[in-house]
Chain A
Amino acid sequence: MKYENYTVEDFLAEESFQQYCAATNEAAIVFWNNALEQEPQIEETFKEAINWYNLLNAQQGNLKEQTELLQKRIHQLGQEYNAQPHKLIRMRGRWWAAACIILILCAGSYFYLKQSPQKQIAKTENAAKIFKNDIAPGGNRAVLTLANGSKIILDSAKNGSLARQGNSKIIKLNDGQLSYQLAAGTEPATIQYNTISTPRGGQYQLILSDGSKVWLNAASSLKFPSAFTGKQRSVELTGEGYFEITHNAAMPFKVKNESAEITVLGTHFNINAYDHESSLKVTLLEGSVKVKGFSVKGERSTVIKPGQQAQVPLSGDGGIKVQAIDVDEVMAWKDGFFEFENMELPAIMRQIERWYDVSVEYKNANTKERFGGRISRNLSLSKMLHLLETNRVHFKLDGNKITVL
């Protein structure tokens, strides 16, 4: 119990503590993180000392966080450059597709992203003039509800350890990431179920205690245990999530939902289980998964291969439909894009509703027209609508309501 009796002054006056706060020395970061892990009771004093450090240091920030932020931005920049422009096709019917190339939707998005800041602002102003108001795109927002009912708002929580449950620790990593870690060399004690939920316009990433990663799209939730024990790893999903499951043949991973149960040993797959869509869709990227669907007529199950999508109807008693699918389109949301391939306007607008937290109404619009294209999810709503409008669809934006004219 080395630091148990340390006061705020004791911490603050230590050079290695100062290096920890500014993150200028990797060894100091490791050292104090270990100390915190071994003596969790010092946390309150430790945090107060950090507050004092930030005050006296005039909030110059943390070198590690800032470096990571820069690297993340550069990484995203790379992705923007790599995104190949897709051609926008406006179709009057399936057979007429190729004849009707009107505009390159993604080139628009691509073009926007590559402009200098001043020009971007000018463009926004233009777009804003067309629409009465503007709405910012969604971001990393989520709420974690612990087993005891307490709620942690993750977007405003500071990075670092948020809570402890038995031998597991909940840690907020960089922006938009939450991690569950089991203390080294310990067995999971009592298992507690927590729920992470994203609002409309939110997304979040979670690393479960077995190392499996889950990306949660907007308006979604995942109920999961603080640690996995027993013969299977089981979680519950609503909305949409992409899973990268750590292989463990002895403990299959199950994702459950009212309508389906997906069983895997270790693989990458996406589940789209929004209530207001017509079917629950499981898309497989790697490995293999078993999809079991529940309907009024009983259970049906199927196994799908990479590149295939299983569609479990959410109403009626139809069977599970399996088809080959463009995986990039399904996964675009995780990489920060909307991707539409030959998609009817209402399906596009449902994604917009979830990401910008708006509602959509239709007035005389032809909802059977189909569109295609790839657009960044970082655009403000007015820019997004402006891009869609280049295809002779027209919108009115009034507060949180979009009317398709």
Chain B
Amino acid sequence: MQINLDDKTLWVNIKKGNQAALTQLFQRHYFLLVKTGINYLQDPELAKDAANDVFFNIWRNRENLSDVENIKAYLAASYRNRIFLLAKSDLKNTNRLKEWNRDQEETQHSYEEILVTLQVKKEEKEKLLRYLEQLTPRQKEYLQLKFYEGLSYEQIAEQTGQAVKTIYNTIYEAIKILRQKISLKK
């Protein structure tokens, strides 16, 4: 049985050496952090490693942690620092990282842009972009909410005012269209 505690309570418990609190905080924030990383990096592995490092370092320094008012903002800042440290020597990431300056507004890339950036081979990038463009804006929006944001059908329905069934069908059709053009069989 897991009791959901708020971030600040978890933080206090981590300072006391409670590892379950760290796990809960990690699971709550993991996807949020990784998404910001993927927004700027070509390297999803680096984005994941950096998120892991942030929480590992929190645990390692748990005895010296200061009180933090806004845990989410603290995690976001630690995550960004960690990424900059890890990506410093990695040239392929530097262009996009420039957009992620401390003083600047964050740039949110489009869903298509993020998906395409992650493809390693040039021809795969072009192919994916070409076929994503053939989807309707609504199909793309639902795919993003479903797979990238990780929302449930209920949540998407609430957000868009559409019926769950409609959203399900739209997503189903969109995947079908992409699948006719791109093979991911191994």
Contacts and interface: CB of A to CB of B under 8 A. Distances in A.
A60 B44 contact: yes
Interface string A280-292: 0000000000000
Contact of A58 (B51, B85, B114): B114
B175 A58 contact: no
B21 interface: no
Interface string A241-263: 00000000000000000000000
A30 interface: no
Given A18-B146, A24-B150, A67-B26, A9 B85 contact: no
A56 B147 contact: yes
A66 interface: yes
A24 B22 CA distance: 16
Main secondary structure of the interface of B (DSSP, over half): helix
A229 interface: no
Interface in B7-43: 19, 22-23, 26-27, 30-31, 34-35, 38
Given A70-B55, A74-B56, A63 B31 contact: yes
Interface string A324-357: 0000000000000000000000000000000000
A112 interface: no
A164 interface: no
A15 B31 contact: no
Given A51-B184, A73-B56, A117-B85, A61 B44 contact: yes
A59 B34 CA distance: 9
B23 A67 contact: yes
B179 A55 contact: no
Contacts of A53: 147
Given A58-B44, A66-B52, A77-B60, A13 B168 contact: yes
A71 B146 contact: no
A8 B168 contact: no
Contacts of A105: none
Interface in A32-70: 44, 47-48, 51-53, 55-61, 63, 66-67, 69-70
A74 B59 contact: yes
Contacts of A48: 184-186
Interface string A81-104: 000000000000000000000000
A9 B44 contact: no
B87 interface: no
B72 interface: no
Given A63-B27, A69-B52, A70-B55, A52 B175 contact: yes
A15 B152 contact: yes
- Interface size bracket, B side: 35 or more
B111 to A, nearest CB: 8
Interface in B171-186: 171-172, 175-176, 179, 184-186
Contacts of B26: 66-67, 70
A60 B35 contact: yes
A382 to B, nearest CB: 18
B71 interface: no
A117 B86 CA distance: 10
A73 B44 contact: no
Given A60-B34, A63-B30, A18 B147 contact: yes
Contacts of B175: 8-9, 12-13, 52, 56
Contacts of A57: 147-148, 150
A22 interface: yes
Contacts of B176: 9
* Best-buried of A22, A55, A58, A74 by chain B (most CB within 10 Å): A58
Contacts of A77: 56, 59-60
A8 B153 CA distance: 18
Contacts of A22: 31, 150
Interface string B41-64: 000100110011001100110000
A59 B30 contact: no
A47 B34 contact: no
Given A61-B30, A63-B30, A73-B52, 16 more contacts: A9-B175, A9-B176, A12-B175, A15-B153, A51-B184, A52-B175, A55-B115, A56-B147, A56-B148, A57-B148, A59-B38, A63-B31, A66-B51, A67-B23, A70-B26, A117-B85
Closest 10 CB pairs of A and B: A56-B147, A59-B44, A51-B184, A57-B147, A13-B172, A61-B48, A60-B34, A9-B175, A58-B38, A9-B176
18 contacts: A8-B175, A9-B175, A9-B176, A47-B186, A52-B179, A55-B115, A55-B184, A58-B38, A59-B44, A60-B38, A63-B31, A66-B26, A66-B48, A73-B56, A74-B22, A74-B56, A74-B59, A77-B56
Interface of A: 8-9, 12-13, 15, 18, 22, 24, 44, 47-48, 51-53, 55-61, 63, 66-67, 69-71, 73-74, 77, 117
Interface of B: 19, 22-23, 26-27, 30-31, 34-35, 38, 44, 47-48, 51-52, 55-56, 59-60, 85, 114-115, 118, 143, 146-148, 150, 152-153, 168, 171-172, 175-176, 179, 184-186
